[in-house]
Structure 1
Amino acid sequence: MTTADDAVPTAPHGTGLPTSDPATPVSAWGLPLLGLAFVAVLKLTGLDGGYDGSALSLGVAIALVPVLFGAVFAAVYHAELIAHRTGEPFGTLVLAMAVTVMEVALLASAMLGENANPALARDTILAVVMIVGNGLVGLCILMGGLRHKEQSFRVTGANAYLAVLIPLCALSLVLPNHTVAAPGGAYSPVQLAFAGAATLAIYLAFLYTQTVRNREYFAVVIKDDEVADKAHKPSNRATLISFGFLIASLLVVILLSKTFTATVDVGLQAAGAPAAVAGVIVAFLILLPEFSAAVRAARADKLQKSVNLALGSACATIGLTIPAIATLSIVFGAPLELGLDSKDTVLLLVTFGVALLTFGTGRTNILYGLIHLVLFATFCFLVVKP
């Protein structure tokens, strides 16, 4: 999860502190407007049901991907700007809520649609853990290690992330297979309500620790010129404008979620790919902005920032998504399958075991990065060839 201080759109360099708002990129306001126009066209033409085999719906499916990705990037940009204006702990909450709204919208469209996919939430959460815990962590450590040989970070912060992620994954992905109140890998409504409340409690405790009580655990050492860049906060006018475009971006994602999930389902069926691939696609869509920022930080020898971005995004994704989809499942009676099979459970345990060793010393090298990347490649291979 991006923190407010980590992801501020920087102001121009100069003597003294900047006194005006940086120019807003055209994409930051153009992409949400393009997305709203695209949604309007789909509604008016009746093409919002996904790909149906016609040439026109194929064009819609092709255009859908860049429009949806653009809305996600615009939403993250405006959430970061608002977060810089509000400061902590509200800044972290703004970012976490923006990402959660997008993810829950995509999952809800699959849970509550005509062809419900009760396992998409499970597949998405597992994909988030594997993409972050192996793919992103491994790439950051490898890229940073190749450029700087060894890199350091705060063990206390990394341990806090892992202490949150392990029980969150156990409550949401492993424990449902060992309860008897509901068949298969599912919770009963009462158990689901408890698991959602417990997950939220763990995340809120972590958020308080990260933003108020022990902020030094996650501090990033920055240079004096970067301090000057970050000292300027957006004006009230710029913040209100960004808030409007944030709402517009989130609205685009919500309104296109049904079309996106329906199109993905048709594409996977045509390709003969397993249904679990859909979870990987949704996870990549949500994590892509954090992915690029974390890799850039590692190459700049700021591995602590990469750790904050990578592991923090996983904590926020699980800690806020599980309570949200649990509420949807209970209120609307939507089926929700959370328990992993034995193959994925083993891979999850190995991932956390290696992560404890990787983040246990405060220093990393390319060996750890390569190991995590091999585990990520194993996950991707087993998703396609289970």
Structure 2
Amino acid sequence: MGAFDVVAVRKQFPALDEGAAHFDGPGGSQTPQVVADAVSRTMTSALANRGQLTAAERRADEIVAGARQAMADLLGTRPDGIVFGRSMTQLTYDFSRTLAKTWSEGDEIIVSRLDHDANVRPWVQAAEAAGATVKWIGFDTETSELDDIAPLLTDRTRLVAVTAASNLLGTRPDTVRIAEQVHEAGGLIYVDGVHLTAHAPVETSYADFYVCSPYKFFGPHLGTLTAAPELLETLRPDKLLPSSDAVPERFEFGTLPYELLAGTTAAVDFLAGLGGTGTTRRERLVRSLQLVEEYEDGLRDDLESRLAAIPGLTLYGHAASRTPTLLFTVEGHPPAAVAEQLARAGVNAPAGSFYAYEPAKLLGIGLTGAVRAGLAPYTDQADVDRLVAAVERLDRSSDH
């Protein structure tokens, strides 16, 4: 395995030249030049609807195939099980409506109070429309560990929706074990991998459905779902009559955004080049993301210990396995005011509940939420130092 070189990584991001320390990656990462170039190059090249007759048709076809293969390499899955959509939220609504066609009264759907609302509300609403029962998995507000799912599973469990990592608290539940339990009960599992995929190598074949968003890992704004093609063959979404019924195109409504798919492939290639070595792109991705995880966790530990030493500061989220994402409040300072003062210091660390409606409610921080500081591969020690110094200045200026 190679080495992680944060100085070289930072040089690839033009946005960093503006001078801010970016801790806003959980809401969307900054973009490397190679991804912007791929998008621009695609939009200025001849394009048409997919086909094999003209160069423009072939280019569109190759871009789609390339993006499916790139995402399959990233997720450890098959390209013919990759579905693209406008966002993870849109894909989840689409699949919740399609799956709900197979549900009936008395069937049970399980959702988690740890999850982003995009992996909660679509299932709750689909269950209500189908007359199915909704059950909830809670979490420990002290440790932020997800509760045991076993007591909720029955032979009527049809689907469990759970996050691979909380976008609010960073908690990484053991989704592989949860999937085993769900499958033993005869249900399906739908895993929200949006927050995790940017921070660690993932292998997703354990999940029936796994969704993520390329714009969290340096790519353009769209969503991706992976599932076994054999499972996708059994599902019948509402679709236009002339549109393709082949899997995975069956689930992609309208013309795909070719430029964004080209950018997605470029983002995956960028990830594969973050120090990892190997003969295949999958090998390079796994090893690069292992380096990223090790690097980010080291910075997180430093940042966490220094924030914890600041009087009046409360840190949330203490799971044994976590992403490099910290959530905190400072006594006497509304979270929005903290974020504002950090922004004035050139530190981008926003405040809110970040669509994690259920966990924020359970924690008692509500929609006001807290300040979230998310680390990324382009975060360096100087960024961490700036954040800590800005929060320390905030504490000293509390008599304003």
TM-score, structure 2 normalization: 0.25
With CA pairs under 8 Å and 6+ residues apart, which has the higher RCO, 1 or 2? 1
TM-score, structure 1 normalization: 0.25
